[in-house]
Structure 1
Amino acid sequence: MTRLVATLSRAAIALAGVGIVCMLVLVTADVILRATVNIAIPGIDAIVASYLMVSTIFLPLAMLQLLDENIAVDALRNKMPDPVKDLFDIVGHVLAAVFYALLGWLYFKVAVEAVEIREYVAGTWDVPIWPARIFMPLGLALAALAAAVKLYQSIHALFFGEKPAPHHSAGSF
């Protein structure tokens, strides 16, 4: 299961990376076109905001969870003995899994409604944004799954004393 979640997380990271590159190219092209020939790319703001930024923010969440790279305040945790640290980890992973799952469920309902009404942003060009609505629940569901994997690993470490190998950077995963 860990390998499956890691593979899916890598795929999500790759998709988010494509979104970043597309955002870079589109915004740069829009700025250059506006500055040189006073022409804007129609719908660029909706495409960047609805598709590219959302994918860049939500799709990498699972990898952050797997690598324990979320924002954390460890001042109290670092002063505790190892068994208490393990309990803190378990509680943190439970809370993360529940949070991601609940938020993912809420956004799933939003995505279903957007697909049903074929949501779009009106402008020079009508930009359909309903396909982009799936990025949020997809990223959050994958993050909930990653938190569940980390929860399993933490419980296994607590009862069997087998700690997962530490990582040194996101690139080492």
Structure 2
Amino acid sequence: MEKITEAISRFAVGLSGFGIILMLVLVVADVLLRTFFNVSIPGNDTIVASYLMVAAIFLPLALLQVLDENIVVDALYDRLPTIVQDLLDVLAHLLAVLFYLLLGWIYYRVAIEAFEVKEYITGTWNVPIWPARILMPAGLFLGSLAALVKTALAIRNLIAGTPPPPHQSSGAF
């Protein structure tokens, strides 16, 4: 399950990276068109903000969990006994699962409502944003899956009595 979760997480990061590159191209093209031809790309602001930025922020959440790259303060953690570190790891991963699931469920409901009304933003062109609404809950649910896998690993460490992995960048990716 670990390898599958990591593969899905890396794929989501790949999509996010593609979105960032596309965002860069669209913004630069829009600036150049405005500067030299006094023309802008219709709906560019909406596409960048509603699709590409949301993808860039939420799709990488799962890989952050997989690689233990979340923000941590371990000034006290390193001085605790291994059993306490293991318990804290289980608790932290469980809280992450609950947090991601709660937010994912809330934004899933928002996405369903957007799908039902075919939400769009009116501007030069009417840009449909209802398809983009699924990116946020998708990233959050992937994050909860990764946190659930990390919870299982932390429980396994707790039962086996093995020390938890260090809270530092693995250098992987």
| Shorter-chain TM-score range | over 0.9
Aligned length: 171
Aligned residue number for residue 63 of structure 1: 63
Match of 1:8 in 2: 8
User: Which stretches in structure 1 are left out of the alignment for 5+ residues?
Assistant: none
- SS of 2:123's equivalent in the other structure is coil
- Identify the range of structure 1 (117-126 vs 156-165) with the bigger mean alpha-carbon deviation: 156-165
1:16-95 correspondence runs (5 A): 16-95=16-95
Report the identity percentage. Answer: 57
Q: Matched residues in 1 for 2:77 and 2:162: separation? A: 20
Distance 1:165 1:155 in 2: 13
Q: Which residue of 1 aligns with 2:136?
A: 136
Letter in 2 for 1:108: Y
Deviations 1:105-143 (A, max 9, x none): 000000000000000000000000000000000000010
Counterpart contact for 2:118–2:128, Cα < 8 Å: yes
**1:57-115 Cα distance to aligned partner (Å, 9 max, x none):** 00000000011101111112122121111111111001000000000000000000000
Contact 2:12-2:60 at 8 Å conserved across structures: yes
Secondary structure (helix, strand or coil) at the match of 2:104 reads helix
Instruction: List, as ranges, runs of 4+ consecutive aligned residues in structure 1 with deviation greater than 2 Å.
Output: 161-168
Q: What is the TM-score when the length of structure 1 is the normalising length?
A: 0.95
How far is 1:168 from its partner?
Answer: 2.5
- The Cα of 1:158 is off from its aligned counterpart by 0.9
Structure 2 match to 1:154: 154
Work out the CA distance in 2 between the residues paired with 1:109 and 1:9.
23
- Report how far residue 161 of structure 1 moved: 3.0
Alignment of 1:100-139 (within 5 A): 100-139=100-139
Give the Å deviation of 1:170. Answer: 3.5
Whole-angstrom CA distance in 2 between matches of 1:61 and 1:71: 12
Name the SS for the 1:41 alignment partner: coil
Shift of 1:163: 5.5
> Which is worse superposed, 156-165 or 144-153?
156-165
The runs of 5 or more residues in structure 2 that have no matched partner are: none
Selected match of 1:169 from 162, 168, 171: 171
TM-score by length of 2: 0.95
Deviation at 1:164, TM superposition (A): 7.3
Residues 21-58 of structure 1: CA distance to partner in whole angstroms, max 9, x if unpaired? 10000000001111111111110110000000000000
Amino acid at match of 1:83: I
Q: CA RMSD in A?
A: 1.4
Contact map agreement 2:43 2:123 (CA 8 A) in 1 = yes
